[in-house]
Structure 1
Amino acid sequence: MSHCEEKHCTCTGTIATQSLDELEFERGIWYAAQYGDLERVKKLLSGFGSDPNKRDAAGYTGLHYAARNGHLDVCKILIEKGADVNSVTRVGKATALCRASSAGKKDIVEYLLNKKADPFIQDSDGKTALHRATENKHFPICQILINTAPSLKEVEDNKGHRADLTKIN
């Protein structure tokens, strides 16, 4: 009798596999940036001379991941090492500012704006960071964006909609 039969379990015979893209993601700077592993990010940037603007298979940089997940210390080191604060993803054309605004990461939004992130960059839907912040009800971020660039209120997305600011203040 096999071990599975003794334990009354069902063996499917499947083996967990990982694609080369997944392996590269975990070994690259993106995984470390996503999970806020500052020491690994530093090691990857210095020890291997890794490009802070290198994209993963989906077209994201480490800064996109760090900003979305609220890892300010990682954002700082990436920008210090030359990460492009206005880099856009391949498919969605999102910036780190857009991702941080969508996720409600106020400290990251303030930092990126201080580092000259362009709040007027529109993603593939024509939406700015202000559109994304309002959609996700991150009103303190909306206020920061409006204070930084008041004319953002006038920017229309691909469907002709401006950011809905009726709930701010």
Structure 2
Amino acid sequence: MTTPKDDHHCCDHSQSSSVTQTLDELAFERGVWSAALNGETAKVIKFIEGGGDPDTVDNAGYTALHYSSRNGHVEVVSVLLQNRANPNCTTRSGGVTPLHRAAYSGHTDIVKLLLKAKASPLLCDEDAKSPLHKSAERGHMEICKLLVAADRTLVTLKDKRGKLPVDYVMESNVSLKTLLQES
């Protein structure tokens, strides 16, 4: 069992051990981010219908689309994209996109939605890792196939350590290594 802090690595939204919460914690819980994190579609819709901006960032620079993409909430992602959430938004710290988060977490249906909404698979985070790097390091074959189909040049992108996506694949995963070989 994971603790709330382990559930989302971007920032610490775990319950405070004191009786009072900080203003940041209260804002997160009341904002659209908590609803997106927890897959509460009705709350996300209410936020948007009330005039809320789907690209509103929390104090860590994450949007609701980042949270729902990371946690696999297809319906919330769909609602956000239908209401013009930016599929290419990047965090202030790390330069991470929702596509990075979905690819790393193995959420194939969300990767499909994001690509359909024109999320760029070529955007790299501050470590110069593309969503393909993130998916390859976790061995997500179907997502790697989708990303390579979206843009074959992804297999040639090197991160800040000089590594290609294929360099993150376990030696035993021959089929994924084959897919990611430069041709």
TM bracket, shorter-chain basis = 0.7 to 0.9
Q: Give the Cα–Cα distance (whole angstroms) in 1 for the partners of residues 104 and 18 of structure 2.
A: 37
Report the CA distance between 1:18 and its aligned residue: 1.2
Q: TM-score, normalised by structure 1?
A: 0.88
Alignment of 1:9-28 (within 5 A): 15-28=18-31
Report the CA distance between 1:86 and its aligned residue: 0.2
The alignment yields a C-alpha RMSD, in angstroms, of 1.3
Cα shift readout 1:57-81 (whole Å, capped 9, x = no counterpart):
1000000001011111111111111
Report the CA distance between 1:160 and its aligned residue: 1.1
- Tell me which of 92, 112, 115 is aligned to 2:114: 112
SS of 1:55's partner is: coil
Q: TM-score, normalised by structure 2?
A: 0.81
Cα shift readout 1:63-114 (whole Å, capped 9, x = no counterpart):
0001011111111111111210100011010000000000000000011001
Q: Give the Cα–Cα distance (whole angstroms) in 1 for the partners of residues 39 and 151 of structure 2.
A: 29
Q: Corresponding residue for 1:103?
A: 105
Q: Give the Cα–Cα distance (whole angstroms) in 2 for the partners of residues 64 and 15 of structure 1.
A: 28
Q: Corresponding residue for 1:122?
A: 124
Number of corresponding residues: 155
Q: Output the amino acid matched with 1:60.
A: Y
Q: Give the Cα–Cα distance (whole angstroms) in 1 for the partners of residues 160 and 151 of structure 2.
A: 20
Q: Corresponding residue for 1:150?
A: 152
SS of 1:121's partner is: coil
Report the CA distance between 1:15 and its aligned residue: 3.7
1:93 aligns with 2:132: no
Q: Corresponding residue for 1:74?
A: 76
Report the CA distance between 1:144 and its aligned residue: 1.1
Q: Give the Cα–Cα distance (whole angstroms) in 2 for the partners of residues 108 and 37 of structure 1.
A: 16
Q: Corresponding residue for 1:133?
A: 135
Q: Give the Cα–Cα distance (whole angstroms) in 2 for the partners of residues 130 and 104 of structure 1.
A: 11
- Tell me which of 32, 36, 55 is aligned to 1:33: 36
Report the CA distance between 1:131 and its aligned residue: 0.2
Q: Give the Cα–Cα distance (whole angstroms) in 2 for the partners of residues 18 and 138 of structure 1.
A: 38
Segments of 5+ residues of structure 1 without an aligned counterpart are 1-13
Q: Give the Cα–Cα distance (whole angstroms) in 2 for the partners of residues 66 and 58 of structure 1.
A: 15
Q: Give the Cα–Cα distance (whole angstroms) in 2 for the partners of residues 145 and 78 of structure 1.
A: 21
Report the CA distance between 1:19 and its aligned residue: 1.0
Q: Give the Cα–Cα distance (whole angstroms) in 2 for the partners of residues 113 and 30 of structure 1.
A: 22
Report the CA distance between 1:16 and its aligned residue: 2.6
Sequence identity of aligned pairs in percent?
A: 42
- Tell me which of 38, 48, 67 is aligned to 1:45: 48
Q: Give the Cα–Cα distance (whole angstroms) in 2 for the partners of residues 141 and 62 of structure 1.
A: 22
